[in-house]
Structures are given as C-alpha cells and as structure tokens.
Amino acid sequence: MKITGITPHVVGNSWKDWLLVRVDTDDGIHGVGEGTVNVFARTVEAAILELEERIAGHDPFDIEALLLAMQRDVYTDGGQVHGAAVAAVEIACWDIMGKALDLPVHKLLGGRLRDRVRAYANGWYTVDRTPEAFAEAARGVLNLGFTAMKFDPFGAAWMAQSGHDEDLSISLVEAVREEAGPEVDLMIEAHGRFGLSSALRIAGRLAPFRPAWFEEPVSHHNIGVLTSVARQSPVPVATGESFSSIQQFAELLTGGAVGIVQPEPVHLGGIWRTRQVAALAEASHAVVAPHNAQGPICSAVSAQLGACVPNFYVQESFDVFNEGWTRDLVHPPINVVDGHVEVPEGPGLGVEIDWDGVERHSSR
C-alpha cells in the first residue's frame, strides 16, 4: 500500500478554524487526520503541502519511517506548526491501518482497557466574569452529567494581577466549587500567564477549594521554573499541552515534580509520539490527561488513546459546547454520556468525516 495523495481542508467556526486532512492510498482506502493549531490553520495547511512530496509513495503502515521523513530529515524544528502538519498525516495513517485490518486504533496500540473514558468539560464558561454567572454556567455542566470541569478564572491576567482582580478570580473558583459540591473535580487553567511568585501565591489561595490540578501556572518554555512551581505548589500542577517533542516531556518528568501530563497529539506529531509520552509518564508514576481543544478528529484520537493507556486519567471535552453543526461533522458523532466519552468501535479512528459538511463550512 502506498500514499497517493494528501488533501487538507480548513473548516471555520466562531471558536477556531480546524485543519482536517484526507490521505488517499493506491488500495482505495483513505484516512482522516487533523492538524488544528490556534490561529495557524492556513500555515499548517501550507506545511502539509510542503511535506507531501517527502511522503508520497510511502507505506502508511511504516509510521516510524514516515515520522523520520517528516521530522528528522527536514533538518529543522517548526514547533507546534510542524508537529501539527506531521500529526495530520500520521493520524490519517493510523486510520488507514485500522481500516485495512478492520480494527479500531486502540487494538493496534495494545488493546482496550476501557470502553469509555472519563471526560472533563471545557468551553462552558463564555459568560460574564461574575461569581453568579460562573455558578449558573457550572450548573448547566452538572446537568449534562459531567463530574469534572475546567475553567480559566483569571481573565486577561499577565504575569501578575492586581489585588482586586486576583480576589475576583478566586471568588469565581469559590462560586463554582460551592455550586458543584465536593465530589466534582475542578481543573483551574492559567494558560501559562503568571510569574513565579504570583503562581505560587495563587496556588496557595486555590488550595482550600481542592482543585484536581492547577494547569500551566507559568510558561512551558522554562521547564526549570515550571517544575520549581510544581514542587512548591500545595496543589497538583498539570502541564504539557504546548510541548512538541518527547524530549521536553522527558525533561519535565525528571525529578518527579509533575505527576499529571497533558500531551496534545496534534502538537507532538500524532498518535505514536503521544503513546510514547504516556509510557514515559507511566515509568515516572505520572498520569496522562490528553489535551483536546481542537476538532472532532482529535476527540476521536484522544478517545482511542484513552481506551488503551494504562495510566490514563481524564480527557478534555469541548465537543458538547461547540456550535451545533460541528457535532454532525463526523459520523457516528462523538458521544459524551454521563460525563464519559464513548470510545468509537469502528475500524481505524471509528469515525468518518462528512465531506459535504466540510465544504459547507469551509473558511475559504
């Protein structure tokens, strides 16, 4: 079997553009992939077309050879954009393999450990930045059956907040905890925006509300500072979504300061590298909570990984809170029932793209 063509498609909605890919083969089997990166969908599209000539004619089963051709052999490091272009093709190749063998991807990665994966809600708090609005929005999440939710209470903070704004941020956390009760897991997102001292002070103020984690309190670019915060924080720190190499994870996990890692399959170059990161984390007694703030193909990828990774913790889910038409873009749809994503059981990723829907919602 040989790769004969790669066709990227940019799909737009009010949240972000998604970069979806179709990879065709000479056997007539095609696979679907995704390479969504915030703001840079067109840039990733161009990168995929740049890589196409390097992988045309390759066997889609030869994942390692394909990764080397797209990463090592270009003698450059394009970070997340490069990783996303590689991931789009690599994910489609796993889809092709599964379809050719009539097996879901998780069967190719070691076999199923669970048929549904616990999810936490994200994207639910596009409301006024008041305790009352956040509590009401959280109530809606609970009514959908979620037992975990993530939110960023910090507004437009950068490096530090004023005393008033920091108090407001903490009041939002307090309101959500009061509404959710003690049994629901809360994940607090910071988007890497704080300085060292601010991050540690806020971590201390979060502690009474027992968050499941404090996510990227400082930038991922300085792993030493990030692990220093994690080591001193009274609440668990989670990070990793912005990394684009397994070596970054190896450095992060050295010393045992971080016990929750969040690989983003798109940034890392796809499924295989993410599975390798999960193994690294397992060896370091860390759990894996895949980052999944992209489109429906990434949701299917995260579910397939969640089905087979022993140290899986919880999966991010935006799907329920996106625009209604996006849930019809793949079939069968990504189902979230009682706060769990049902793992697709069909061959490959277990979902197919509605290409007519892609055309209707093209951002061109």
Question: What pLDDT, in 10s, does the model give residues 294-341?
Answer: 999 999 999 999 999 999 999 999 988 888 888 889 999 999 999 999
State the pLDDT at residue 364.
Answer: 65
Q: Integer distance in angstroms from the first to the last C-alpha of the chain? A: 32
Alpha-carbon distance of 178 to 184, in angstroms, equals 10
Cβ contacts of 311 within 8 Å, gap of 6 or more: 278, 281, 282, 286, 287, 288
Q: How far is CA 355 from CA 14, 20, 161, 328, in A?
A: 19, 10, 45, 11
Q: To the nearest whole percent, how much of the chain has pLDDT over 90?
A: 91
Alpha-carbon distance of 44 to 26, in angstroms, equals 25
Write the pLDDT tens digit of every residue in 106-160: 999 999 999 999 999 999 999 999 999 999 999 999 999 999 999 999 998 999 9
Catalytic residue status for 191: yes
Alpha-carbon distance of 116 to 202, in angstroms, equals 34
107-355 adopts what CATH topology?
TIM Barrel (3.20.20)
Q: Please answer whether residues 202 and 220 qualify as being in contact, where contact means their C-beta atoms are separated by less than 8 angstroms.
A: no
Catalytic residue status for 291: yes
Cβ contacts of 297 within 8 Å, gap of 6 or more: 20, 32, 33, 34, 91, 330, 349, 351, 353
Average pLDDT, the chain: 96
User: Could you say which of 191, 221, 267, 340 is catalytic?
Assistant: 191
Q: Please answer whether residues 139 and 145 qualify as being in contact, where contact means their C-beta atoms are separated by less than 8 angstroms.
A: no
Nearest residue to 295 via CA among 34, 81, 21: 34
> Residue ranges of the domains in the chain?
3-106, 107-355
User: Could you say which of 30, 291, 340, 361 is catalytic?
Assistant: 291
Write the pLDDT tens digit of every residue in 180-228: 999 999 999 999 999 999 999 999 999 999 999 999 999 999 999 999 9
Q: Which amino acid is at 111?
A: G
Write the pLDDT tens digit of every residue in 64-87: 999 999 999 999 889 999 999 999
pTM for this entry: 0.95
3-106 CATH choice from 3.40.50.12160, 3.30.390.10, 3.30.70.20, 3.40.50.2300:
3.30.390.10
Name the token pair of 164.
């008033």
State the pLDDT at residue 325.
Answer: 82
Strand bridging mode 148-151 / 287-288: unpaired
State the pLDDT at residue 111.
Answer: 96
